[in-house]
Amino acid sequence: MTFSDNKQLAGLNILVTRPLHQSIALATSIRSLGGNPIVLPTLEIADVADLSPLYEIIDRLNEFDWAIFVSSNAVNKAMPLITARSILPSHLRIAAVGKGTADSLMQYGISDVLIPEDKFDSEALLECKEFDEMAGKRVVIFRGLGGRQLLGDTLQQRGAVVEYAECYIRKKPVIDTASLLSVWSQGQLHAVVVTSSEGLHNLFDIIGELGQQLLKVTPVITTHERIAQAAKQLGLEKIVIAPSPGDVGVMESIRTYFQPAENNTA
């Protein structure tokens, strides 16, 4: 089978498990190449029930030296609340775990953002020289409820005073997967896109025993080695790590994986 340049994914059904609002652009890209995106959010991003602790931190942002945003969700949940109550202190330095998060900050007029140069995760951010000497520095980390502790713990070990501004919660949705499993059982689900370890584990729970067996032999496109390791622990056999965490990297991996052999021969 040969695909035209704009129909490289023709006939392929690709499961997209990102939160709904983060799936739209990727689904559009898949569709533009002739593929059929099946959007099944395995994470819901919701507001925290009590905003008062978050407002309390926002009202004293002038006390902090650094504000770190761990995700686009953190930006999009926190920044409207921040801008509605005050302006960011001029001395407050801003950092983001990755480029996508920095792009979200740009939408709020924040362009001077520290991000890692290569890999985009907490480990890479901690390697930035700006975080080498943190004695006495005050840091607020905007994140989801119960996020990873590595960033805050490491900065504390380096002498910083760290507080968490938890501005959203992640939920496992309740989904009827009968129609998905029917398609999948007929060999008509060709790849799964997973962009978080929590989303992967939620998917594994949601699809049940039959789906788990199917998932183990379906190509899974991930965006980080940490997610790949979680996939391996669940027994998944076909794992592809995208070269970058954004939609461009995911699409590159999908196209490369399904590139017909005919296109590689002249």
pLDDT digits (tens, 9 = 90+) for 66-106: 999 999 999 999 999 999 998 899 999 999 998 889 999 99
pLDDT band at 5 (very low <50, low <70, confident <90, very high): low
pLDDT top residue among 2 and 173 = 173
Pairing assessment for the beta strands 93-96 and 113-114 based on DSSP bridges? parallel
- Predicted TM-score of the model (pTM): 0.81
Q: In what order do the strands lie in the sheet with 13-16?
A: 36-39, 13-16, 191-193, 220-222, 239-241
Measure the CA–CA gap between 258 and 190, rounded to whole angstroms: 9
Mean pLDDT of 160-173: 95
Measure the CA–CA gap between 191 and 236, rounded to whole angstroms: 12
Closest CA to 69 of 171, 129, 151, 132: 151
Select, from the ranges 8-17, 111-120, 143-152, 255-264, the one with the highest average predicted confidence (pLDDT): 8-17
Mean pLDDT of 243-266: 77
Amino acid at 202: N
| Percent of the chain scoring above 70 in pLDDT | 95
147-153 CB contacts, 8 Å cutoff, 24+ apart: 147/70, 148/70, 148/122, 150/122, 150/123, 150/126, 151/68, 151/70, 151/97, 151/122, 151/125, 151/126
In the chain, how long is the greatest CA-to-CA distance?
A: 64
pLDDT band at 210 (very low <50, low <70, confident <90, very high): very high
pLDDT band at 261 (very low <50, low <70, confident <90, very high): very low
Q: What is the pLDDT of residues 175-186, one digit of tens each?
A: 999 999 999 999
Q: What is the pLDDT of residues 16-72, one digit of tens each?
A: 999 888 899 999 999 999 999 999 999 999 999 999 999 999 999 999 999 999 999
Question: pLDDT at position 260, please?
Answer: 56
Q: Residue 263: pLDDT above 70?
A: no
Closest CA to 171 of 24, 23, 16, 19: 19
Q: Residue 208: pLDDT above 70?
A: yes
